[in-house]
Structure 1
Amino acid sequence: MNRRCIFGLCAIALVTIPAFPSNSKAQGKSLKDQLVGTWIYVSSTGKREDGSAVPRPSAQGAVTYTADGRFHFITVRTDVPKYASGDPARPSPEEAMAVASGVVAYTGTYTLDESTKTAHLNIETSSVPNFVGAPNQRRIVTSITDEELKLTNPRTPAGVTLELVFKRAK
């Protein structure tokens, strides 16, 4: 090959390589840089210690991780009823119970152990009072891409391991 042909092939390669998408962009970021942002709840599965499945309700929600170490998490069952009275201060006892058992929300600070892919949570406020200040609250990042986040909650107070799937908010 002559020099002109080699030069032409190199020029074509330099022009076309950026046109192909690459996942190496995400691989170059730290786990924290990849995690920061808002993620929309997609689904969850639960398992007991014996491996048996735990039915999970249909829900909507989100989790947000900030660069300064704060997080916010909320899920709401999709079957939570609207208040018949229209007044949020006056639900019926049944409506209040449905909301109380259908909403999980908490917020606080987190630290991230990049080597174990574990977020250690310090829950400061929660719709479940027992979560506040509870020790060893952690979420393990089992998979993360630019578009999807999978977390494991290794042991809930009910003794269940949860696998949660989120998609990045647009």
Structure 2
Amino acid sequence: MNRRYALGLCATALISALTFPNDSISQGRSLRDQLIGTWIYVSSTGTREDGSAVERPKLQGAVTYTADSRFHFISVRSDAPKYASGDSARPSPEEAMAIASGVVAYTGTYTVDERTKTIHVNIETSSFPNLVGAPNQRRIVTSITDDE
């Protein structure tokens, strides 16, 4: 099964939304049941609190929602430079900055509000420490199918 999703960050860098390419939420099964599995990252957009746009490099990644209410998200720059040294422990300062600023990974627990079609996440660990425990972490599902 090829699952795809697009991640859009709305209103603040701390509030984001999942949108799915199809126009409707599948009927019959709960949204929570439909989310369980791994979804491949497609794209993201973002807006800061001051209304300015968030610039994003080319990214690839995935999010997984488990039946026991855990989730894992990772995105990585697809155009990141290779380390000239060939040693992952010895990047140049520029290489290290390019990698550090191009990777976002976090994990924690989630709940689903079926009425509002919203996923609420509690980030427990993150490559960006400011996300840990941050309030208002939500993803709004606008559409979902078995394949997308």
TM-score range, shorter chain: 0.7 to 0.9
Q: Does residue 67 of structure 2 align to residue 42 of structure 1? A: no
CA distance in 2, matches of 1:79, 1:71: 26
- RMSD of equivalent CA atoms: 1.8
CA distance in 2, matches of 1:123, 1:50: 24
Identity, % of aligned positions: 83
CA distance in 1, matches of 2:144, 2:29: 11
Q: What's the counterpart of residue 76 of structure 2? A: 76
* Residue 52 of structure 1: how far off its partner (Å): 7.2
Greater Cα shift, 76-85 or 54-63:
54-63
TM-score by length of 2: 0.76
Letter of the structure 2 residue corresponding to residue 82 of structure 1:
K
Q: Secondary structure at the match of 1:143?
A: coil
User: Where do 5+ consecutive residues of structure 1 fail to align?
Assistant: 1-25, 149-170
User: Where do 5+ consecutive residues of structure 2 fail to align?
Assistant: 1-25
CA distance in 2, matches of 1:82, 1:45: 26
Q: Secondary structure at the match of 1:75?
A: strand
Aligned ranges 1:1-170 → 2 under 5 Å: 26-47=26-47, 54-148=54-148
Say which structure, 1 or 2, has more relative contact order (CA 8 Å, 6+ apart): 2
Q: Secondary structure at the match of 1:29?
A: coil
Letter of the structure 1 residue corresponding to residue 108 of structure 2:
G
CA distance in 1, matches of 2:48, 2:136: 19
TM-score by length of 1: 0.66
Change (3 A) 1:141 1:80: same
* Residue 135 of structure 1: how far off its partner (Å): 1.2
CA distance in 1, matches of 2:30, 2:79: 38
Greater Cα shift, 38-47 or 92-101:
38-47
Larger Rg over CA atoms? 1
